[in-house]
Amino acid sequence: MRRAVAPIQPRLLTPEEAAAYLGYKSAAILAQVPVTPIRISTDGQGTNPRYDVRALDAWLDGLSGLMPVGHPDADPQDAAEAEFAAWRMKRSA
């Protein structure tokens, strides 16, 4: 019996794929996106730009007001620790 294999989602997207990921038909929209493409090629010339999905997501998170991954307030444990530290600082003053 064969096991079902989940499709692999690439992390790096071509300009056309990045535009589609953002919901646009034309890669021209990428001129308005402040995410620098990674230039990868097999010949060492760096002629194949690729857009990192995580970089696109972080940019979109910032636009929509969501906290980017890694922001201290994004993790409830980090927020609780910061609140406790502020409380303790007040008490010692």
pLDDT tens string for the chain (93 positions)? Answer: 778 888 889 999 999 999 999 999 999 999 999 999 999 888 777 788 999 999 999 899 888 887 655 566 555 555 566 666 677 777 766
Sheet bearing 38-40, strands edge to edge? 12-13, 48-52, 38-40
User: Is residue 70 domain-resident?
Assistant: yes
User: Is residue 61 domain-resident?
Assistant: yes
Cα–Cα distance, 22 to 33 (Å, whole number): 10
Is 59 in contact with 22 (CB distance < 8 Å)?
Answer: no
User: Is residue 27 domain-resident?
Assistant: yes
Query: By residue range, what is the domain housing residue 88?
Result: 12-92
User: Is residue 4 domain-resident?
Assistant: no
User: Is residue 86 domain-resident?
Assistant: yes
The count of structural domains within the chain is 1
User: Is residue 32 domain-resident?
Assistant: yes
Q: What is the pTM of this model?
A: 0.65
User: Is residue 40 domain-resident?
Assistant: yes
User: Is residue 73 domain-resident?
Assistant: yes
**Dihedral of the CA atoms 52, 55, 61, 62 (nearest 10)?**
-150
